[in-house]
Structure formats: C-alpha cells, structure tokens
Copies of this chain bind each other. A is one copy, B any other.
Amino acid sequence: MRFLHTADWHVGKKFNGYDLLADQGKILDQITAIALREKVEAVVIAGDLYDRTVPPVEAVALLNQKIQHLNLQEQLPVLAISGNHDSGTRLATGSPWYTQTDFYLHTNLEQAFTPVVLGDTQFFLLPYFEPIAARLYFDEEVRSIQEAMELVIAKIKSAFDPKLRHVLVTHFFVAGSLRSDSETKIEVGGLDSVPAELLADFDYVALGHLHGRNALQHPTIQYSGSPLKFSLSEAHQEKGVFLVDTTAGTRHFIPLVPEHEVRILEASYEELLDPVFYQNQQREDFLQIKLTNRGVIPNLMNTLRGIYPRILGLERTAGIERSTEIKQTESQSPEQVMADFFYEMTQEKLTKQQSQWLEDSLGAQNQE
C-alpha cells in the first residue's frame, strides 16, 4: 500500500493577521499533484483540516472544493480524521455519504475500532478526542490521554488482521516530540502525551498535531508536519508530505514550495528602502525584519510595509540609540524636551517661528 501522508492543513488560518487562504489553496493543489504524479493509492490527512471549530465561510468553500477535486474528480481514496482544532460534529456533515467514493472521515472515537481496508492494509482512523469520550465509551475511570490511549490501542489491536499491514492515523502529542509556536497545547500538566511504545505494533503511525516533521525521531512513527509555515519558529523547517509504502516498509519526504516563504531579513533601513536591494528580494514573503540601524526612525513600519507587504514583525539587532539629552528630561525645561524630540524625529532644529509657536502653546497650557 502506497499512500501520501499529510496533516494540519488549518484551512482558514491567519498568520499574524495575514489571510493565508490563497496560499493554502495553492499548497493543497501541490499535494494533489504529488499524489497523482506518484500514483499513490490513498491520501491520509491526520487532523486539523480547519483552523477553527467554526471556520470562515471562505475556508469552507476552499476545503470543499479541494476535497471534491481529490476524491470525486481524481477519484483518489481519502482517509481523514478530525484534530483538536476541528469541530468533529460539524466536520462530520456528509461523512456517511463519502464512503461510497472511498472518502473516510472519522470524527468519533468509536469509529477507530472499525478499520478501513485498502489493498493489503488496515487503516485505523483515530480522531482527536478528550479523555471524557474514552471514559464514556469504555465506562472506566480514565484520567489522562495516556490512560485512554492504552484502552484504545488495546481495542484496536484486537481488530488486527495478521495477514494485513496496520496503519494508525491519529492526532496527539507523542512523548519525546518537539513543539513549535503554532500548535495549540492540547492539555496542560503532562497528561496529554502518548508514549511512543504504545504505538510500536503498527507498521506505520501517521501523526498530525505538531507542525514540524522532525518533532519525533522514530522508525515507524512520523509527523508529516503542516504543509505551510504558521509561525516564525518554523522559518527554518522544511515543509512537505510523506510518501509511505507499507509493503516495502519505506517512507520518503517530498518538499512543498510555498507561494510566500517565511524568512528573517536582516538589513539597514537604507538598504531596505533601496530598489537595488529590494528588487533582488522576494518582497512578498512573510518577513521578520531585523533592523541594523540604531537611531529612531519615524513612520518606520508604514514605510517598510509600502515595499514589504507581509511583515511579521520588526526587531533591532542592537538597542535603539537615544541622544543623551533625552535621558536627562527631568532636569530640562518643557521647551527643551520638545525641541530635542523634534530633532530626534526630523534631524532638524526648530525654526524661530516654530519655537515661538511652542512657547505660545506651552504658555497657554500653563494658564489653564
């Protein structure tokens, strides 16, 4: 069984206020193109299809369109689960009809216990669930995801067909993984992690939840990572999908190329504003700008955004240098403080007329 493993699409997500929908549409098209080119037998999506339980209507339209294309037009089997960002109930709409075209979308714990069999492989699709769901299902005292998972995996294994391969698709924090900034922590207090040993008997575990594909180093347990970078902490991660062959026992990473990269750009203000500099830059990328200047620059962000439309943030490689006079405001007259501030902002001294206006204004203030 050869399949493509992806996860954490987060359709409808915003990145520091920037709408990602167009970028997400293009990256999903790349995933479909890879699936077709590699002639996989199924596409596995390991949770967090949407970014929110109630996604914006444009996100609904996009996901509907892309999944339709994958499953109805291209006739690729799709195996998907809901993640902690999805509303299982809302996502389940239509799912009983989808199975007719080999689109399996599991949103309830109990659905994990009936495997989907494709080729030589049993797929167990275990959506994200809260401990309370396991408590109700098993009618046992379950206090943590770890306790719940012990019961769940035991029950899944009882359905193993020894003649077939076994793949688990799920969406949790597996112990030993590394987090980045764009995942939502599922539970607090260390009760939320699943020990990797629990998952050792599967030929492959297709994980979602953590956005870095290297979050866990394990021979058979793999996070695909998100198809796009959703935080600055992911700037150096390579994003992509995995091609998995359970018959051959192999997995290969295939990178995706985003419409707009996430990068750190270090330069001086003068360089940033110089056409010779920025015409050689991918100005449209998501940029964290590290400014090498030390002086105060008026209207800085607005000026930069005119050239670089997707600035994530701005930091200084060194502290801002202030004129010494500014540091001594307490011993200065209000007129002097204002004059210094004017110089700091404009690099110009007050004219005689401006000084007069200032004096008049301050005088009027004092008389009130």
Measured between beta carbons, the chain B residues less than 8 angstroms from A89 are 57, 60-61, 64
Q: Which residues of B contact A100 (CB under 8 A)?
A: 97, 100-101
Say whether A176 faces chain B, with CB atoms less than 8 Å apart: no
Cβ < 8 Å to B, chain A residues 71-108: 72, 87, 89-90, 92-98, 100-101, 103
A54 interfacial contact with B, CB 8 Å: yes
Q: Is the CB of A98 within 8 A of B90?
A: no
A98: nearest residue on chain B (CB-CB)?
A: B97
Q: Does A180 contact B (CB under 8 A)?
A: no
A281 at the interface (CB under 8 A from B): no
CA distance A100 to B95 in the complex (A): 13
Least CB distance, A63 to chain B, in whole angstroms: 8
A68: Cβ under 8 A from any B Cβ: yes
A68 and B97 alpha carbons, distance in the complex (Å): 9
A87 CB contacts on chain B under 8 angstroms: 57
| Cα-based distance from A270 to B97 in the complex (angstroms) | 57
Which chain B residue shows the least CB distance to A53?
B57
A103 CA / B96 CA spacing, docked (Å): 13
Q: Which of B64, B68, B90 contacts A57 (CB 8 A)?
A: B90
| A9→B171 CA distance, assembly (Å) | 36
Which residues of chain B have C-beta atoms less than 8 A from A57's C-beta?
53, 87, 89-90
Q: A57-B89, A94-B97 are in contact. List 4 more A-B contacts (CB 8 A).
A: A60-B90, A60-B93, A61-B89, A97-B100
23 intermolecular pairs with C-beta atoms under 8 Å apart? A53-B57, A54-B54, A57-B87, A57-B89, A57-B90, A60-B89, A60-B90, A60-B93, A61-B89, A64-B92, A64-B93, A68-B96, A72-B96, A72-B97, A94-B94, A94-B95, A94-B98, A97-B97, A97-B98, A97-B100, A97-B101, A100-B100, A100-B101
